[in-house]
C-alpha cells in the first residue's frame, strides 16, 4: 500500500456507505439523548448536533439554560393551621430556596374542597369553610418563573363557632 487512504465512492476518504450510515445514526441517537436529558432537566456537556449542526450554529441547544422547575421556589415548610368560625388561619415558614427570583405570592388550598386563599406572607386566612368539617391545608410559593411544588399537608382542624370568640366562660360572682 502507498500510504494513501482509499477514496470511497461517497466522497470521504476511508468511509464506506455503512460507516457513514452508522455515523448518521450515532448523531441521531445523540440528538435523542440530548432531547431526553433536556426535557428531564439533566445537564450534559455534549454538543447536540441535530439542534444546530454543531459549532457556532444558532440552534436551540446553544445557550442552554436551567429547566424552569429549577428556577421555581421550593415548597413552603412547617405548615400549621388554626381553626376559626367558618375559616382557618394557615401559618408556614418560607421556602428554603426561591429559585433565584423573589417569591411574589403564596397560595393556600384546603383539603377537601380546594378552597384557595392567596397572600404575600404568612399567615393567610382561608374563609368559606364549613363549621364541623375537618380540613387540612397545603401551600405553594410562586415567583416570576412559576409556581413551585406543593408543601406537606398541615395538621387537621375543624372550624366551628366556639373557636371564633373567647374560649373562657364568664366568671360567676
Q: Residue 149 half-sphere exposure, CB side, CA atoms within 13 Å?
A: 10
Q: What percentage of the chain carries pLDDT values higher than 90?
A: 48
Q: What is the pLDDT of residue 134?
A: 97
Residues 40-67 have pLDDT tens digits of: 544 443 334 334 444 444 444 445 555 6
Mean pLDDT of the chain: 74
- Domain count for the chain, please give it: 2
Residues 121 and 85 grouped into a single domain: yes
- Give the end of a domain, one of 26, 46, 63: 63
- H/E stretch holding 29 reads helix 17-39
Residues 74 and 57 grouped into a single domain: no
Average pLDDT estimate for 10-23:
55
Q: Flag whether 167 is in a domain.
A: no
Q: Flag whether 50 is in a domain.
A: yes
- Of the candidates 58, 53, 51, the one whose C-alpha atom is nearest the C-alpha of residue 36 is 51
Amino acid at each position: 500500500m502507498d500510504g494513501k487512504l482509499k477514496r470511497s465512492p461517497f466522497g470521504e476518504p476511508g468511509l464506506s456507505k455503512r460507516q457513514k450510515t452508522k455515523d448518521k445514526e450515532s448523531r441521531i441517537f445523540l440528538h435523542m439523548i440530548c432531547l431526553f436529558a433536556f426535557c428531564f432537566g439533566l445537564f450534559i456537556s455534549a454538543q447536540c448536533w441535530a439542534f444546530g449542526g454543531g459549532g457556532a450554529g444558532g440552534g436551540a441547544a446553544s445557550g442552554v439554560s436551567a429547566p424552569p422547575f429549577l428556577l421555581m421556589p421550593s415548597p413552603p415548610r412547617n405548615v400549621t393551621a388554626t381553626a376559626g368560625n367558618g375559616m382557618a388561619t394557615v401559618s408556614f415558614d418560607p421556602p428554603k430556596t426561591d429559585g433565584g427570583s423573589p417569591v411574589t405570592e403564596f397560595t393556600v388550598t384546603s383539603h377537601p374542597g380546594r378552597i384557595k386563599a392567596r397572600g404575600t406572607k404568612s399567615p393567610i386566612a382561608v374563609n368559606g369553610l364549613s363549621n364541623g368539617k375537618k380540613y387540612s391545608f397545603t401551600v405553594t410559593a410562586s415567583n416570576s418563573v412559576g409556581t413551585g411544588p406543593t408543601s406537606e399537608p398541615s395538621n387537621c382542624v375543624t372550624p366551628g363557632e366556639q373557636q371564633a370568640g373567647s374560649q373562657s366562660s364568664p366568671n360567676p360572682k
